[in-house]
């Protein structure tokens, strides 16, 4: 019983150390300028999960270039910092394009100051703090709920709509949804990528720790059997 308790304590201590490390890194990030929370080489795919075609035509006044199940894709090729901006070079494949061919090269520029937010694809990091400050400086049609940013808009046809962008903790767009004035979904895009909060390194440490604990238990049991 005591040996099991020791094992559980070791596991708890391990997770506490990992949590403390991540917390300290996040605190340091908040003390610095807003930054990019993902890396070069990041591949992202979004899929059209919902589409009300008739509603889309009525609200926006044109035909969409996608249908349910269609996907677009980007790969982050380069991230660089200049005086007042973050520059992100991406390779982009639009709906119904051949992913076997080279995508279109696009340069995205993001102002470091949240007061200059301009409907960016991504959010800077730390995300919640950045969105909070951005909304404080934006017009009243913007508001925030957690890691989601909302914008009330009026289409070219004169109809109201609501635009919602939900980010993960890296600042990557998880979902993008447009609602009509009756809160019905017009179109919704969903990221097909998964995100592990502490990354692959965290999984690696966890697996190593669990494996080590299992080996220790097996060796102790084996030793006990030999002694008997």
Element (H, E) at 90: strand 85-93
How far, in Å, CA of 196 to CA of 147, rounded?
A: 16
93 in the same domain as 56 = yes
Distance of alpha carbon 13 from the chain centroid: 29
180 in the same domain as 205 = no
152 in the same domain as 90 = yes
CATH number at residue 170: 2.40.360
Its domain, for residue 102, covers 31-191
122 in the same domain as 166 = yes
Contact 147, 128 (CB under 8 A): yes
Q: Residue 20: which residues within 8 A CB-CB, separation 6 or more?
A: none
What pLDDT, on a 0 to 100 scale, did the predictor assign at position 193?
A: 85
pLDDT in tens, 72-85: 999 999 999 999 99
Provide the token pair at 66.
């996608």
Q: 7 in a domain, yes or no?
A: no
What pLDDT, on a 0 to 100 scale, did the predictor assign at position 2?
A: 53
Q: 122 in a domain, yes or no?
A: yes
Instruction: Specify which residues 144 forms β-bridges with.
Output: 149
pLDDT in tens, 137-170: 999 999 999 999 999 999 999 999 999 999 999 9
Which of 88-97, 115-124, 200-209 is predicted least confidently? 200-209
Phi-psi region of 152 (alpha: psi -120 to 50; beta: other; left: phi over 0): beta
185 in the same domain as 202 = no
pLDDT of 36 over the 50 cut: yes
């Amino acid at each position: 019983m005591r040996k099991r308790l020791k094992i559980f304590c070791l596991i708890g201590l391990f997770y506490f150390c990992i949590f403390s490390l991540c917390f300290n890194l996040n605190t340091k990030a908040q003390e610095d300028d807003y930054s990019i929370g993902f890396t070069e080489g990041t591949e992202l795919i979004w899929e059209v999960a919902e589409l009300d075609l008739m509603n889309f035509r009525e609200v926006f006044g044109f035909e969409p270039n996608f249908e349910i199940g269609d996907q677009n894709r980007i790969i982050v090729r380069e991230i660089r910092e200049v005086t007042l901006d973050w520059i992100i070079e991406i390779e982009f494949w639009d709906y119904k394009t051949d992913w076997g061919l080279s995508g279109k090269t696009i340069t995205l520029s993001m102002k470091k100051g949240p007061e200059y937010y301009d409907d960016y694809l991504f959010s800077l990091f730390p995300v919640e703090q950045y969105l909070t400050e951005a909304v404080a400086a934006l017009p009243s049609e913007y508001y925030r709920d957690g890691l989601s940013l909302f914008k009330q808009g009026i289409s070219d046809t004169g109809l109201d709509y609501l635009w919602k962008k939900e980010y993960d903790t890296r600042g990557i767009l998880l979902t993008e949804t447009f609602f009509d004035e009756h809160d019905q979904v017009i179109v919704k895009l969903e990221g097909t990528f998964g995100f592990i909060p502490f990354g692959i390194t965290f999984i690696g440490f966890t697996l190593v720790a669990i494996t080590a604990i299992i080996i220790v238990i097996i060796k102790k049991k084996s030793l006990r059997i030999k002694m008997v």
